[in-house]
Amino acid sequence: MKILIVEDDSTARYALHRAIRDSSRTILEAEHGGQAIEQIHGHHPDLVFLDLNMPVQDGLSVLDSLRDSPPSRLPEIIVVTANDSVNIAVECIRRGASDFLVKPYDLDHIRTIVARSHRRCQLETRVLELQSQIDSIPSLGSLLSISPSMHRIFDQIRKASATSLPILIRGESGTGKELVARELHRLSPRSGGPFIAVNTAALSEHLIESELFGHVKGAFTGSDRNREGVFRKAHRGTLFLDEIGDMPVGVQTRLLRVLQEGVLTPVGSEEEIPVDVRVISATHQDLEAAIDQKRFRADLYFRLRGIEIKLPPLRARSEDILLLANHFLRSELSFSPQSTEALIRHPWPGNIRELKQRVEGAEAMARTSLIEPEDLGLIVPRSGPEAESMQDWLAPFFELPLTEGKQKLADWFERTAIDRALEKEQGNVSAAARRLGIHRQSLQQKLKERDSS
């Protein structure tokens, strides 16, 4: 990190230098505005402490001279002056300063500013590294990751795609289960055939059999023509059954027969029709617990689970957050340092789906070329040395209207508590509910409401 101190008083300059010196920092100095501009253009400091009243060239003229510089080349500038006028402070901010300090300043406050700026520099460097490496980042089709856990899954996908075994993909909602299913199909010998995806949770119990197996004309009220069903549409290809854990038990029995015998009977017909389909299913539910509660057939579970692939939640592959966030950006916008920090610290209960939606929404609503945390709809409580009290930690919530701030704080706490319980119990909903002290059904309902939001 490079820090420039611009101060005509040598004693004050030395005191500030001594307060912030560190082996990880390069401290530059300038006695007046002319030297400051040379140092900024020649050495590109990350942070500048700029005295306002100086001979030769004052602080305001330095700010003016930097106005036409590209934003990526501008340092963070903290104006330092003995003048505590509000008008002067506003004018400095208007001309490009980041903050305003009145002499005599507190050295601990200065150190906090430097530490905050240092973290910002580290985040910006990480973003630039990711952007420069984007073309060389290991990927598998549309799947992109630098996470070792995902690279192991890439290997599983390559191996599993070459087989004809059914595959069960498990993971929280929004982790990319359908994308994995599509890659399994793309790499398989069936890639020339159709890929049909159906969300079984989105179908009513009355319609799901017709959707899966088809029906003949007159099979039930309103069936005025024959319907093929997704199994027949996926013939010689791949059928992806999402949210298989929500399938009614009666339909599970018919599905098991199709998987075992390779034939189906449309609703309202006695004709047996052979089908050649590779089934990939997915769920975010605890199927083992569903078997114990007689909501899911054990024989179907073992039939579907020829190969099991478990996708980690986004919070468990945090190294991918900035990579994916930048991948989802479709314009010349970029994330501010504060947004970058907010992205990394958010728990992402909705996983990649939530990340994509927030980035696309922020891109549409951003007011400048930089996406800010409020554009993303993120509120991140501050932590670390600068959070000296509970009120400081809660400060972002206090900035909102009372009802909204109270609700967001409650939502944040509930999501975080549930996510931590699920993580500690390795996704076991029953065990997580016991840890939280609530009924399993209550936890399931909360998860379902969150998934649909």
Q: What is the pLDDT of residue 386?
A: 43
Q: Do domains 140-310 and 323-452 have the same CATH topology?
A: no
For 10, counting Cβ atoms within 10 Å of its Cβ (0-12 exposed, 13-18 middle, 19+ buried), the class is exposed
At CB < 8 A and 24+ separation, what contacts does 256-264 make? 256/297, 256/299, 256/300, 256/303, 258/213, 258/231, 259/166, 259/300, 259/303, 259/304, 260/303, 264/213, 264/214, 264/229, 264/231, 264/232
Q: What is the pLDDT of residue 387?
A: 42
> Which residues 6+ apart lie within 8 Å of 365 measured at CB?
375
CATH number of 2-132: 3.40.50.2300
> What residue segments make up the domains of the chain, in order of their start?
2-132, 140-310, 323-452
423 close to 431: Cβ distance less than 8 angstroms: no
* Tens digit of each residue's pLDDT, the chain (453 residues): 899 999 988 888 888 998 898 888 899 999 988 899 999 988 889 999 999 888 778 888 899 888 777 666 678 899 988 877 778 888 888 888 888 888 888 888 888 889 888 888 877 777 666 655 555 567 788 899 989 899 999 999 999 999 999 999 999 999 999 999 999 999 999 999 999 999 988 887 778 888 899 988 887 877 778 888 999 999 999 999 999 998 988 899 999 999 999 999 998 888 999 999 999 999 999 999 999 999 999 999 999 999 999 999 999 998 899 999 999 998 888 898 889 888 988 888 889 999 999 999 999 988 888 898 989 988 654 444 444 445 555 666 666 677 777 777 787 788 888 888 887 777 788 888 888 888 888 888 888 777 655
Nearest to 17 by CA among 49, 43, 39: 49
CATH number of 323-452: 1.10.8.60
Q: Please state, in angstroms and rounded to a whole number, the distance separating the CA atoms of residues 130 and 177.
A: 24
17 close to 27: Cβ distance less than 8 angstroms: yes
Q: What is the pLDDT of residue 398?
A: 67
Structural class in CATH, domain 140-310: alpha beta
